[in-house]
Structure 1
Amino acid sequence: MTAATASTSKQRQAGRLPAEVTSFVGRRHEVAEVKRLLCASRAVTLTGPGGVGKTRLALRVAVDLARDFRGGVWFVELAGVESPDMLAQIVAEALEIRDYSASAPIDVLVQHLRDKQALVVLDNCEHLVYECAALAETLLRAAPALRVLATSREPLGFAGEQTLPVPTLELPGSDHLPAESLARFDAVRLFTERARAVLPSFEVTEENRDVVARICRRLDGLPLAIELATVRLRALSVQQLLDRLDDRFRLLTAGSRAVLPRQRTLRALIDWSYALCSEQEQLMWARVSVFAGGLDLDGAEAVCAGDGIAREDVLDLVSGLVDKSILLREEHGSRVRYRLLEIIRQYGVEKLAERGQVEMVQGRHRDYYKQMAAQAREQLFGPGQVAWFTRLRLEHANLHTVLEHCFAHPDEAVTGLTMASDLLFHWITGYYLGEGRQWLDRGLAACTRPDESRARALWSNGWLAVIQADLPAATAMLAESKAIGERLGLDSVLAYVALYNGMVAMFEGDTESAIAFYEEALERHRATGDPVGTASALIRLSLAYSFRGDSETAISLGDECLAVADAHGEGWHKAYMMMALGVDVWRQGDLRRATELETHSLRFNRTVDDPLGVGVNLEVLAWIAATEGRHERTARLLGILDTVWQAIGAPLSGYGHLAHYHDECVALTRKTLGSSGFEAAFEEGARLSYDEALAYALQGDEHVDEAITRNGFAARDRAQPRSGAGAPAPLTRREMEIARLVAKGMTSKEIAADLVISQRTVESHIEHILSKLGFHSRTQIAVWVGEQVRTVEEDGGQ
């Protein structure tokens, strides 16, 4: 097993590959060649100028090969990474590795990938050529089954690298080819398809064929150039488009008939796109270029409005840039976001500099995300909690960029330190704990004045160090924070220092000292009116009293915490308190109530994708199963847990005092099942994907579905639905259950919520159902289910 596995992605066929906003056209030869090179070599770099389609080609290959890499196919966007020191951390985050240890990011990556059959796509490496080469070489040397596919304007230049210059799209060599013959040229196919997106009735005809061919040749077959040019067909005919292209290029070359270098061809198209924008659209284009990884309408209004752009005009300007294919529109749940292709963003950065507005707009960008971080911290304890966690993850690239900017400018370092502290729960609940520690370390090194901001950053970083089991660093930071807090009379600082000192004491086995620290923290948090600190102290104090055997006090404290959480409409701390109560209720022997508490907690922790909370929930469910004498289930849960704790890198991180319960559970289960029986069941659990594992933990043995069966143990109550002919239908019990819900008209999202499984799992089941029954639509499934019901009724309910 590895020391750091992406728990949310175990055994997925693909990682988080970006969605293709437009269809992929042509490139069959190039796709085949990249696949061939990846079979022959473990590292391939696609090279070529901007706009030639390196990223799209890499993505298409990644999608096609997804099923061939059991360890996942992962896409890492590097365009926004400015600091080489952050490279390994950014790659680890892209691979969704949650590591709660204090290990260096490169070591975490090595351990994670060591036994993985995975493909990692490193996109836009040209500004980090040396660093990307060193990283790729290190990972490939440590992980024999790893493949790396990179895109860069130049080779990375390390041993074993194969390079493939990405050509422009195939062009017709001459005019007067029949219209149907032009369709075999990729450049013409792309032009036609993108033209149809603008004019649905567009066709290459005998009348316009020569003009289309000339346009594609004029654009050198550059995919991005073709995409930008076809947008003009909203207002121009193809002949007018060609005429204006000739005008643009004649102006650019001052009448030279020499063939334009491809970089200049694309530049001419981007210049033309810019020229065809209104003055305000040009200004908007320049200003949105400060965003990294995308933006939403709120961000556009806050950062881009003013000094030439009225706030009420921002929506229309954004819509205009979307229509012109400058901004790409993407949906993320209920939020719409926009992003710029990197070459378009860089053009905007140039134009912003020409206007002399870089400092002004970057300042607005900084202030917007500084305010967002502060607002998230203020609203953390309330009904909007999950929405805030989700939003901060979507904005992570912008948060990263702002922090990088702050720490690169000494006069803004305090802003960066404050912001890094405000984002404490973002670091903990996402994939970013290691990055959060780095930002806080960097800020503390830059901001040495013993004031409140440093004191708060010290206890924040101290908590991250406790989670990473880096107790010496945690103790030192908490001591300094306490000294500042005492000198300045900062009760809130002293309350948090006491809370985390209690965690250190509990980790070291000193329960009495921990209780004293927790009680001090609780008293101070109550006095300052801090519900977050109050709830945290109640959770830890309840656990400590439970550990000491004082169940009455533990439950009383737990009830108080639940009341505080309910009063504020808060869910995350409530979930942890339910987890803590579940431990004590289990110790008292009320297994049914303990199971209810842990499963409710687990469902919430799953919603916010909190692996630490999920891990502790699974621990207690395993202990409950062992107490019930369900030893095979216990062993499977222990197998699942082994994967979760390996993912985090620190078993029971922050809850080490519970480790003896785990050890006792393992010993009892192994003794009961015998070594071979234990190992077999343990491996069955370890082989489950994350979604399958949580479904098993939440639903129990009676709801084992086909996916779990496929991973190692037989379902005990497989359904035998009857077909119209009276023979057993080819569906499993879970598939039949989902088919019935489809027949009720429920969406995949509604089915997922009803069955407590992921929407992706539901859609996978529906695909299997369609395939098995030879159907093509949900309507056919509904009709088939109705036939099954009628058949059963005709058979007398048998």
Structure 2
Amino acid sequence: MAESRPAAVRGRLPAELTSFVGRRRALADTRRLLSSSRLLTLTGVGGVGKTRLALRMAAEVRRTFGDGVWFVELAALRDPALLGLTLAQRLELSRVSANPTADLAEYLEDRHLLLVLDNCEQVAEACAVLVSKLLAAAPQLRILATSRHVLGVEGEQVLSVPPLSTPPVEAPVADAGQYESVVLFADRVRAVLPEFVIGETNRAQVIEVCRRLDGVPLALELAAVWMRTLSLSQILDRLEDRFRLLATGRQARPARQRALDAAVGWSYDLCSPAERMLWDRLSVFAGGFDLEGAEEVCSGDGIPCDAVLNLVAGLVDKSIITRMMGTAHTAAWYDMLTTIGQYGGLRLAEAGQTREFRFRHRDYYRSLAARWEAESFGPRQADWYLQLRREHDNLRAALDFCLAEPGEGPAALEIAAPIWMFWFAGFLREGHRYLSRAIDAAPEQTPTRAKGLWAGSYLASFLDEAEQATRLLTEYEELAERYDDDHMRARIAELSGHMLILQGDLVGAVAQLERGLVGHRAVGDVQGEFDVLILLSAATFFLGDPRVEDFGRQAYELTESRGADSAKGYALWTIGLVQWRDHNQFDKATLSLRESIRLWQPVNDRTGMGFSVQALSWCAGSDAPDERAARLMGASRAVWRSNGAYVVGMTPYSQFDDQTEQRIRSTVGDEVFDAAFAQGAAYSFEQAVALALGEETERDGAAKPGMAGRLTRRELEIAGLVGEGLSNREIAARLVISQRTAETHVEHILTKLGFSSRAQIARWVTDHLER
């Protein structure tokens, strides 16, 4: 692998939640093959440790890649058409269009980067096509994939991940500690029985468990959990029973697959009938679930709703599902390994219940979308955004199910249309795709289709799909007259006004929007009223109409009265624009616009941040038209395009861009401007936002070392432990504090630094606290 160029460590890797055991040979083989090949696929049965090996390898070589190491989890992805968008979002592309594959190829063309694609078998054919195109376009790109099957791409190197080493029959019993499977089993047993040690009395039984399970890590971990309640001899007896059961008609399966089947099936058998039933039903979730979802989807028909909590707790205790801690804004979240979920899915299918619970899953997310629509403009606004982001894979799964089922197009619209603001805030292209498909799948002219037409038209207009936006709006207008619906008429005026702004007809836009404002107020649509006030603020600002200040104030007061803090960011955007242009209050404008960004950061509203970073570039170009202002203009472009929006190229926004550009060019010259603009445009999303907030470093635009001053001494200590890869539980044990206290400290660190993941804290620690 090539030498890295001087740069901060970039990329995204999830933290390892448990200790990494052994694998020296496998790591060496992976490193050797990755250094000599641009595509390496780690293959093997589920549970053999492909993902853990890939993550450890990625962590070890991350400094070798100047543009970072990026991990993309594909286990929950079912629609191959979303593969490109998923990668683009994960890589924080500076441009996402209707052809994300082309955007990825262009983005990666000159980057030295390692892409880790995990669980490719779900979309293997699409992965093969995309990987081929990216490798052809980007000579410095390397890809490390995990899959149960080879991808079949030219130049692909394949490494079959072996199980952990186990003591052969002839090996001296005393040497057992030299074998990886024994070390892993003992480590995982100590997690549930801290006093456990391997000694003369149990060594032979431990060795036999490891042999029976063929060194498959997941199988060993499942067996270790049962040491809470069973002895080693009992575990061996039950494994023997399970292998005897598996022997019928399945002798041809590889030993490691039979070992995994035995461990998973045996764990399944040891669960209570109700726990097994819940395990099966939970398999319909994608990417995890919370307690409410489990209760709504899985209860009934043998599982009382009030029994779900205890059953979930039982499955957590047995390591069938994993609990991720909640935050101040979210409930506890649970997940199930792909292999475990697939086992439950097979049992559900054998019972003939898959379709039933897919429908129940669909119904839950349809109701969730309706609740979002009713409640998201209120005091739980941030909570709702965070919840839908966490439920993203489940929303995809519900929509994919509807679009694959004949006659379920209307149900897809009932999920996709009410959450149009969720799509608007961070997933424009994806939301547009789902709405377009759902509209095509629900041709009957009904109120449900009408809502989809409006939402689809709104997103299409923002994505510069003017022809489609007009076509959908025209049909929506026809339905508004058919139903004689004043609310629909208010929405038509709102959307027409929005489209006229983008076309540059500001006078016509204001006239339409004023009608929309009256209409929304008449029917009591507070969200619609707020949206129109923001659009009126934009239109009157561009016109130089003094009413802009009043519209902005009304919007701000509306968010205050409803407690909708995230939406307040848009009101602060309008206030900042007025402070800048109409009052020459550059400092106040900068504070307002930066505050709007900070309100959007926790919910990752990239569209909102795009507006404010762009406005900050206008302010900077007026106040100090220097090299930094040019760089901020470029960074504005990077933020906008990360969400697939094209506002930067639209009238009248582009007029202010043009004026700002000319002012800076006349001050610093074309050469300096072009270089600085290009530098900013090449920034990652995080770098661009850090620059806008004044928190960039000279090296890479990440958080300033001085930001450490925003953390308390205890928070700095805990940030360092996060950087070491410790979990909240391990931090609590190290510092002799409660796990809840550790979790609270980590949440405070994330909030103060404006980060969204532990991996970002770890990178920040590496860059700024360990020099």
- Flag the 1:497–1:698 CA change in 2: closer, same or farther, 3 A: same
8 A Cα contact 2:638 2:681, kept in partner: yes
Deviates more, 1:620-629 or 1:35-44: 620-629
Answer yes or no: is 1:384 the counterpart of 2:380. Answer: yes
Letter in 2 for 1:33: D
Indicate the residue corresponding to 1:351 in structure 2. 347
Distance in 2, Cα, partners of 1:279 & 1:631: 70
1:222 pairs with 210, 213, 216, which one? 216
Q: 2-side partners of 1:547 and 1:38: how far apart? A: 54
Q: Residues 501 and 50 (structure 1 numbering): CA distance in 2 closer, same or farther, change over 3 Å?
A: same
SS in 2 for 1:612: helix
Q: 1:581 to 1:166 in 2, by over 3 A?
A: same
2:327 counterpart of 1:338:
no
Which amino acid in the other structure matches residue 217 of structure 1? R
The answer as to whether partners of 1:187 and 1:221 remain within 8 angstroms in 2 is yes
Does residue 469 of structure 2 align to residue 474 of structure 1? yes
Q: Distance in 2 between matches of 1:303 and 1:742?
A: 39
570 and 133 in structure 1: CA distance in 2 versus 1, 3 angstrom threshold: same
Aligned equivalents of 1:195, 1:356: Cα separation in 2 = 37
1:629 is displaced (CA, Å) by 3.5
1:751-770 to 2 correspondences below 5 Å: none
Does the CA contact (< 8 Å) of 2:497 and 2:508 recur in 1?
Answer: yes
Matches within 5 A, 1:434-449: 434-449=429-444
**Mapping 1:422-437, distance limit 5 Å:** 422-430=418-426, 432-437=427-432
Larger displacement relative to structure 2 (434-443 or 354-363): 354-363
After superposition, give the CA deviation of every residue in 1:680-732 in whole Å (9 maximum; x if it has no partner).
65466557665454444334xxxx6xx6133499x9xxxxxxxxxxxxxxxx7
C-alpha separation between the residues in 2 aligned to 1:281 and 1:655? 56
1:463 alignment partner, SS class:
helix
The separation in 2 between residues aligned to 1:569 and 1:467, in whole angstroms, is: 27
2:577 counterpart of 1:575 = no
2:737 alignment counterpart: none
CA distance in 2 between partners of 1:343 and 1:743 (Å)? 38
> Which digits, 9 at most, give the CA deviation of each residue in 1:146-189, with x for residues without a partner?
2122222221112111111111111111256253x222211111
Corresponding position of 1:619: 614
* 2:46 corresponds to 1:57: no
Residue 457 (structure 1) shift? 0.9
Aligned to 2:201, the other structure's residue is in SS state: coil
Q: 2:534 — aligned with what?
A: 539
Match of 1:668 in 2: 663
Gaps in structure 2 of 5+ consecutive residues: 1-6, 720-744
Distance 1:656 1:362 in 2: 45
User: Following the alignment from structure 1 to structure 2, what is the Cα–Cα distance between the partners of residues 748 and 343?
Assistant: 30
**Aligned AA (2:172):** L
Within-5 A mapping of 1:702-721 = 708-711=697-700
Would the alpha carbon gap of residues 738 and 318 (structure 1) be closer, same or farther in structure 2, given more than 3 Å must change? closer
Gaps of 5+ in 1: 1-10, 716-731, 773-798
Matched, 1:305 2:299: yes
Structure 2 residue corresponding to 1:372, chosen from 368, 371, 380: 368
Q: Secondary structure at the match of 1:150?
A: strand
Contact conserved, 2:96 with 2:641, CA < 8 A, in 1?
no
1:474-518 CA distance string (max 9 Å, x none): 111111111111222122222222212222222222122212221
Match for 1:643 among 638, 641, 644?
638
1:109 matched residue in structure 2: 104
The residue that corresponds to 2:183 in the other structure is 189
Letter in 2 for 1:223: P
Between the aligned partners of 2:105 and 2:39, the Cα distance in structure 1 is 16
The percent identity for this pair of structures is 42
Calculate the TM-score normalised by the size of structure 2: 0.88
Alpha-carbon separation, structure 1, partners of 2:225 and 2:685: 43
Q: Is residue 2:121 matched to residue 1:132?
A: no
In the TM superposition, 1:239-318 aligns within 5 A as 239-253=233-247, 261-318=255-312
Contact map agreement 2:378 2:563 (CA 8 A) in 1: yes
Please state whether the residue corresponding to 1:663 is helix, strand or coil.
Answer: helix
Q: Aligned pair 1:44/2:40, yes or no?
A: yes
For residues 648 and 482 of structure 2, what CA distance do their matches in structure 1 show? 32
What secondary structure is seen at the aligned counterpart in 2 of 1:120?
Answer: strand
In structure 1, give the amino acid aligned to 2:35: C
State the secondary structure of the residue aligned to 2:334: strand
Whether 2:162 is the aligned partner of 1:173: answer: no
Asked if the contact 2:494–2:512 (Cα under 8 Å) also holds between the matched residues in 1, the reply is yes
Following superposition, the deviation at residue 769 of structure 1 comes to: 6.9
| 2:488 corresponds to 1:499 | no
Kindly indicate whether the alpha-carbon contact (under 8 Å) linking 1:199 and 1:234 is maintained by their aligned counterparts in 2. Answer: yes
Aligned partner of residue 572 in structure 1, secondary structure:
coil
User: Match for 1:273: what amino acid?
Assistant: S
Q: Which residue of 1 aligns with 2:555?
A: 561
CA distance 1:469–1:244, change in 2 (3 Å): same
Q: Secondary structure at the match of 1:329?
A: strand
Contact 1:175/1:213 (8 A) holds in 2: no
The structure with the largest alpha-carbon Rg is 1
Alpha-carbon contact 1:748-1:762 (below 8 Å) kept: no
Write the letter of the residue equivalent to 1:68. Answer: T
Which residue of the other structure, out of 354, 358, 361, is the alignment partner of 2:357?
361
Q: Secondary structure at the match of 2:669?
A: helix
User: Partners of 2:701 and 2:548 in 1: how far apart?
Assistant: 40
- In 1, the alpha carbon distance for the partners of 2:200 and 2:552 equals 79
Per-residue deviation, residues 117-144 of structure 1 (Å, max 9, x unmatched): 2222222223433222111111111122
- Alpha-carbon shift at residue 22 of structure 1 (Å): 2.3
Distance 1:148 1:764, change over 3 A: closer
For residue 742 of structure 2, what is the aligned residue in structure 1? none
Quote how far apart the aligned CAs of 1:401 are: 0.6
Q: Which residue number in structure 2 is paired with residue 550 of structure 1? A: 545
Judging changes above 3 Å, is the alpha-carbon distance between structure 1 residues 756 and 394 closer, same or farther for their aligned structure 2 residues?
closer
Instruction: Give the Cα–Cα distance (whole angstroms) in 2 for the partners of residues 356 and 537 of structure 1.
Output: 49
Following superposition, the deviation at residue 638 of structure 1 comes to: 2.1
- Could you tell which deviates more after superposition, 760-769 or 640-649? 760-769
Inter-partner Cα distance in structure 2 for 1:46 and 1:343: 16
SS at 1:419 equivalent: helix
CA distance in 1, matches of 2:254, 2:617: 68
1:269-308 Cα deviation digits (max 9, x unpaired): 2221111111111111111111111111111111111111
The aligned counterpart of 1:405 is: 401
Asked if structure 2 preserves the Cα contact closer than 8 Å seen for 1:684 and 1:712, the reply is no
Aligned match of 2:590: 595
State the distance in 1 between where 2:198 and 2:153 align.
Answer: 45
User: In the alignment, which residue of structure 2 is the partner of 1:784?
Assistant: none
Mapped partners of 1:692, 1:671: distance in 2? 26
Q: Is the 8 A contact 1:526 1:534 kept in 2?
A: yes
Contact 1:110–1:142 at 8 Å: present in 2 too? yes
Aligned-pair distance for 1:246?
A: 2.5
AA in 2 matched with 1:459: W
* Alpha-carbon shift at residue 210 of structure 1 (Å): 2.2
